[in-house]
Chains A and B, each alone.
Chain A
Amino acid sequence: MSADGALARADRPTAGADGVIHDRGYRRYDGPRLGRVQIVRSLCWHSFRSSFGIGRGPKAKIVPVIAFIAICLPAVVNAVMVAKGGTRVVSYSTYTFALRVVVLTIFVAVQAPELVSRDLRSRVLPLYFSRPMRRGDYPLAKYVAFTMACLAMIEIPLVLLYLGTIVSAKGHSGIWSETKGLAGGLLIGLMWAVLVAAIGLALASLSGRRAYATGAIAIYFFLTWTLSQLIYQIAGGRGGPFVPGGPSPGQRLAGLLSPFTVLDGVRQWFGDKAVGPMSPPGGYGAAYVVMFLVLLAASFAILAVRYRKAAAA
């Protein structure tokens, strides 16, 4: 066998190791090769598409499509009302807060594991790491892709709301104030996407079992949200949240527990006046900014450690 092999090799044209056309159909590839940056971009695009189940079977599209329709519905309904002479009641900066929390929780809990847990589960990572990428490129591509996906979920309804409203806006001043409102809303939405995607991927990267990853994310988001609400109620005393003399410090700080209320605290710290789900943070606004950064840094740290290990494993 090995003698035959040696013979075949001797018979081959020896004009250098390159550029030899072998018979039996194997063709060398001498076309262009993309660099590392383009490879990462390609992975990013691939992951963005799979965030919405594109390129997967029909089952993979159910949750993202329903979530997307659900989060767009208030914008569409309000836009239709505006066209019929009503006013815009949905705010650009808070949108429909509770709905956004529920929809994003579901979207992130289901789709973040789709992006990272699958690859862990099927142990496909060594195939990525044996290609011209660097260690951090894989989590980076996944993060950028998922942030874009969350951004689409958050910002497209805002844009729909805006488009529906300006069609019936009266005069330039109307359009200008709507545009200003939208711009603020988009910036806040970006902040949401950046944080929610980071937390989602970090939690998902801890488990290759998709069900566990989904559970961990859903429980984290819902539990912190519920606890935050609970503490808010308790801190308000028997009279509920609206005690005389303004919100207590407990009420002002209760929002630090949940990423969603942290995001809303940062929004208010920036000076946005729309009414949020809880009292304004008042003098504790900076604490919300710090918490935002801590959550973000912790998520990145988890991802970094997770994939440093994975590359060497």
Chain B
Amino acid sequence: MTTGAEGAVIETQVLTKRYPGNVTALDGLTVTVPSGITGLVGANGAGKSTLIKILLGLLEPTKGRAKVLGHDCQLEGEQIRTLIGYMPEHDCLPPDVSATEFVTHLGRMSGLPATAAKERAAESLRHVGLHEERYRQIGTYSTGMKQRVKLAQALVGDPRLLLLDEPTNGLDPAGRGSMLELISRIGTEFGISIVVASHLLGEIERICDNLVAIEAGRLLRADTITSFTEVSRVLLVEVEEGLAVLADELAKRGLDPRQHQRALLVPLAGDATYDAVRDAVADLGLPLGRLEQRRHSIEELFRDAVEPGAEPDYLMTEVSDVR
């Protein structure tokens, strides 16, 4: 297998896609995605699906280059598509065939010989947790089961990379949980790299090793999950009363408190922050309920970052490339 530098599964360089009518879907996106599970996050319309189509070699970029597993997307689309399993966002299943037949057929379309396609279809369906139901017509399935069939068809050709577009779409919380668990298992135990596109950061943050955040076709940030969360260390201060007074006092002491439900979040800059908070609470004589160091969930971090003007610097470091 030819891979790019240090096992990068995806490399793009100033990738730009403009649609007719001067709609810019991707705007000079340069990013390197290492192996493992990577979350591709951004609001709806941020350019996630466009990026996936370019990576599949189905859409020509207006400018720039993209490589998947070391292959050029524009020149070696066919080659790439033998190595990728793709799960689209929308419904893509015919209602009147059984899951077994459907996944077998798509296994054939991935280039498997007839017998191998049958075997691997049965295995893929087993891996995603469909057992006896697999002989039933897909039309009779629940949304959760349909999502599993979509995942199974992406898995059937034994891909090196899975591109999953909003895999938890339409699922209830329990269904989301088990779908995420399944994806995490495929990534860690099956040794398949995965890119999960989602607009729900809080959700995929749980299963990803890396995160690529895009906004309006531009790279917001690409990094490992740990470094994403490191920058977001804050101190949560909860007082039984006098929240507003405390906020003023903390501001006077050079801190930048922010109200979060019935508590204050204060950027944590070291022990000095603890001291300042302790002193402020003591000086005002407020009843302190809770004082704890907290990791921002990335969702909060991201939501805050895209709010124009409301960009506290502890929430988001400057946009940087992962390499």
Q: Which residues of A contact B (CB under 8 A)?
A: 1-2, 4-6, 8-9, 12, 17-18, 20, 22-29, 31-36, 38-39, 42-43, 46, 55-57, 118-119, 121-124, 126-134, 311-312
Contacts and interface: CB of A to CB of B under 8 A. Distances in A.
Interface string B104-120: 01101111110010001
B89 to A, nearest CB: 10
Nearest to A3: B226
B198 interface: no
Nearest to A16: B1
Contacts of A46: 105, 108
B108 A5 contact: no
A133 B315 CA distance: 45
B141 to A, nearest CB: 13
B58 A312 contact: yes
Contacts of A312: 53, 58-59
Interface in B203-225: 205-209, 225
A32 B105 contact: no
Interface string B40-81: 000000000000010010110000000000000000001101
B94 A130 contact: no
B36 A35 contact: no
Interface residues of B, number: 57
Contacts of A22: 189-191
Interface string B76-107: 00110110101010111111110001000110
Contacts of B58: 129-130, 311-312
Nearest to B156: A29
A254 to B, nearest CB: 42
B166 interface: no
A38 B111 contact: yes
A7 to B, nearest CB: 9
A55 B101 contact: yes
B81 to A, nearest CB: 5
A132 B81 contact: yes
A27 B28 CA distance: 39
Residues of A contacting B: mostly: loop
28 contacts: A1-B207, A5-B207, A8-B188, A9-B36, A12-B191, A24-B185, A25-B123, A26-B189, A29-B158, A33-B112, A34-B112, A35-B111, A36-B78, A43-B108, A46-B108, A122-B95, A124-B92, A124-B94, A126-B92, A127-B92, A127-B153, A131-B109, A131-B110, A132-B78, A132-B82, A132-B110, A134-B78, A312-B58
Contact of B113 (A31, A119, A311): A31
B127 to A, nearest CB: 7
A132 B187 CA distance: 23
Given A5-B209, A9-B36, A31-B116, 7 more contacts: A2-B206, A9-B188, A24-B185, A36-B78, A57-B96, A122-B92, A311-B58
Interface in B177-192: 184-185, 187-191
Contact of A127 (B88, B96, B189): B88
B187 A5 contact: yes
B3 interface: yes
B184 A1 contact: yes
Given A2-B225, A17-B35, A312-B59, A122 B93 contact: yes
Contact of B127 (A12, A26, A55): A26
B127 A25 contact: yes
A70 to B, nearest CB: 25
Contacts of A39: 108-111
Most buried by A among B3, B94, B127, B226: B94
Nearest to A36: B78
A129 B106 CA distance: 11
Nearest to A121: B94
A17 B205 CA distance: 25
A22 B192 CA distance: 11
B37 interface: yes
A6 B209 contact: yes
B267 interface: no
Contacts of B84: 130
Contacts of B160: 17
B7 interface: yes
A132 B88 contact: no
A128 B109 contact: yes
Given A22-B190, A29-B158, A127 B184 contact: no
Contacts of A20: 191
B91 A122 contact: yes
A18 B59 CA distance: 29
Contacts of B191: 12, 17, 20, 22, 26
